[in-house]
Amino acid sequence: MNPPSLTRILLVDDHFMVRLGLSAVLSREPDLEVVGQAANGKEALELFDRLRPDVVLMDGVLPDMHGFEVVRLLLSRHPYARVLMLSVNDTEEDIHQAVEAGARGYMPKSSEEDETILAIRRVAAGHEFLPPEVARKLAVRKLHSALSERELAVLRLAAEGRTNKEIAAALGLGGASVKTYLARIFTKLGATDRTQAVSIARDRGILRR
- pLDDT tens digits, one per residue of 83-135: 999 988 888 889 998 999 999 999 999 899 999 999 999 999 999 999 999 99
The answer on pLDDT for 3 being more than 60 is no
From the CA atom positions of the chain, what is the Rg in Å?
20
pLDDT tens track for 139-166: 888 777 788 889 889 999 999 999 999 9
Cα distance between residue 159 and residue 60, in whole Å: 23
pLDDT for the residue numbered 4: 60
pLDDT tens track for 19-58: 999 999 999 999 999 999 999 999 999 999 999 999 999 9
Cα distance between residue 59 and residue 39, in whole Å: 9
Cα distance between residue 76 and residue 67, in whole Å: 14
Backbone angles phi, psi at 14, to 5 degrees: -80, -10
DSSP state of 60: S
Question: Which residues of the chain form CATH 3.40.50.2300?
Answer: 7-142
Distances in Å between the Cα of 174 and the Cα atoms of 95, 110, 160, 169, 179 are 34, 46, 19, 8, 9
pLDDT tens track for 173-184: 988 899 998 989
Contact predicate 85/55, CB 8 Å: no
The closest alpha carbon to 97, from 51, 65, 55, belongs to 65
Burial of 114 from C-beta contacts in 10 A (0-12 / 13-18 / 19+): exposed
Question: Which residues of the chain form CATH 1.10.10.10?
Answer: 149-204
**DSSP string spanning 11-32?**
EE-S-HHHHHHHHHHHHTSTTE
CATH of domain 149-204: 1.10.10.10
Query: 7-142, which class in CATH?
Result: alpha beta
C-alpha angle 24/55/69, rounded to 5°? 110
Backbone angles phi, psi at 31, to 5 degrees: -105, 5
Residue type, 12: V
